[in-house]
Amino acid sequence: MSPVRPPLIEVRESPVAGRGVFALRRIRKGTRVMEYTGECISPAEADRRYDDEAAGADSHVLLFALDRRTVLDGAVGGIDARFVNHSCYPNSEAVIEYWLIFFRALRTIQAGEELGYDYRLEKPGPRTPEVEALYPCRCGSPQCRGTLLAPRARRRKR
């Protein structure tokens, strides 16, 4: 019988936002930390459930697009992974493999450190300061871009 390993992570109050996921022991770079789970729904159903104006931007951080027709809603049937907060300078990333979403460590994460990944939210329509203000970032990183939205595309120099 193999020895029981202590848990890798725990959910607790976060200085970034609400609750967060914290490492209980050192997590090596490349480690698959946890799976993101939830209910599979259509993009239309996601829009119905999470109207920007009624629900606010915070609700959208529970949604993961698997493809053009399927969105995973972590608010329904999701587990600890739904509490991983955004970071503009992340220590983990979300990886989609065969319709499963996993968080993988981008670098070694020390015990006590909060896990964070770049949400890179996509918002259709013009990218105005008013739209960006609906999705404020609270990560506190020196590299903070001030929003949960995906970075603006850089223009190529000719």
Note the pLDDT tens digit of each residue in 30-60. 999 999 888 999 989 888 887 655 545 555 5
Beta strands at 63-67 and 70-73: parallel, antiparallel or unpaired: antiparallel
CB 95 within 8 A of CB 102: yes
- Residue 63: alpha-carbon gap to chain centroid: 9
Q: Which residue has the higher pLDDT, 33 or 65?
A: 33
Q: Where are the domains of the chain?
A: 9-38+79-133
Written as six digits, the tokens of 57 are: 């931007």
Mean pLDDT for the chain overall: 85
Note the pLDDT tens digit of each residue in 108-126. 999 999 999 998 887 777 7
pLDDT value of position 28: 96
Q: Record the pTM.
A: 0.83
pLDDT value of position 78: 78
pLDDT value of position 155: 60
How far is the C-alpha of 97 from the C-alpha of 122, rounded, in Å?
A: 21
pLDDT value of position 13: 94
CATH code of 9-38+79-133, in short, is: 2.170.270.10
Residue 73: pLDDT band with limits 50, 70, 90:
confident
